[in-house]
Amino acid sequence: MIVVVDERELVKDGYTSLFGREGIPSTGFDPREFGEWVNTAADSDIAAVEAFLLGQGEATLELPRAIRDRTQAPVIAVSDQPSLEATLALFDCGVDDVVRKPVHPREILARAAAIRRRLRAITNFTEIGPIKVFSDGRDPEIAGDVFPLPRRERRILEYLVSNRGRRVSKTQIFNAIYGIFDEEVEENVVESHISKLRKKLRKKLGFDPVDSKRFLGYCIDWS
């Protein structure tokens, strides 16, 4: 999920709409509302955020450090001021990158992915056994063969692999895939997506690598 922070309703709505067209869940905050949310939100909600996009607002320069107290997710600022001083001020307050309007949502996603790679000092893929998942939107591979998946199932597999060895709840998966503020989709849809994903993995691998336990959640690991 992408969190957009800007005091202008049109800007927030515009970016959330654009991310939605790319199949990426997002939500918008006023800077002051966001300051309260980032300090009080549950850890599972914060963990569902893939990147923060900061725009205009009096409190904007105070937000990066508040974000860093909770997460290492990329913080990207969108600047309306084409000046060196404004750009340096944004970097000084702790943002990871600065972009200027107009900027396509795909560029923002690509920059966020690049920042995550640098922060984690990893390549753009993660391997678990013969499964390789990518951070750039490509279909995963199994034993070197492309393993085509619908977008939701692919993102669930990416989330499970990124949390390998840990159990994640249905709610955590839903938040990561649909966004914590999506009220139009029922959380139970996750069970359907996971069931289809496990069936395909079982057919390809000969067994199901996803372990599920009632009330505890899902886990993927490779012994």
Return the residue matching tokens 């993660």: 126
d(CA 58, CA 25): 26
Q: Please, what is the average pLDDT of the chain? A: 87
Residues of the chain with CATH 1.10.10.10: 125-220
| pLDDT score for 120 | 62
Per-residue tokens: 172: 């955590």
Query: What is the rounded CA–CA span in Å between residue 77 and residue 171?
Result: 29
Dump pLDDT digits (tens) for 191-211. Answer: 999 999 999 999 999 999 999
- For the chain, the first-to-last Cα distance in angstroms comes to 30
Q: How many CB atoms lie within 10 A of CB 127?
A: 14
* Tokens 């849809």 sit on residue: 189
Q: How remote is the C-alpha of 72 from its chain's centroid?
A: 12
For 82-116, write each residue's pLDDT tens digit.
789 888 988 988 899 999 888 899 999 999 988 88
pLDDT band at 182 (very low <50, low <70, confident <90, very high): low
All CATH 3.40.50.2300 domain ranges in the chain, comma separated = 2-120
Least confident window among 58-62, 89-93, 146-150: 58-62
Q: Half-sphere exposure (CA, 13 Å, Cβ side) for 50?
A: 27
Task: Kindly give, in sequence order, each residue whose CB lies less than 8 Å from that of residue 79, ignoring residues fewer than 6 positions away.
Answer: 86, 87, 90, 98, 99, 100, 101
Pick the CATH number of 125-220 from 3.40.228.10, 3.40.1280.10, 1.10.10.10, 3.30.479.30: 1.10.10.10
Q: Which of 82, 15, 84, 81 is nearest to 51 (CA)?
A: 15
Q: Predicted confidence band at 135 (pLDDT cuts at 50, 70, 90)?
A: confident
pTM for the whole structure = 0.58
Determine the 3-state secondary structure of 21 from DSSP: helix
Question: β-strand 97-100 against 75-79: which pairing, if any?
Answer: parallel
Give the pLDDT score at 176.
Answer: 84
SS3 222: coil
Q: Identify the CATH class of 2-120.
A: alpha beta
Which residue's entry shows tokens 């709610």? 171
Residue type at 145?
A: D
d(CA 184, CA 130): 36
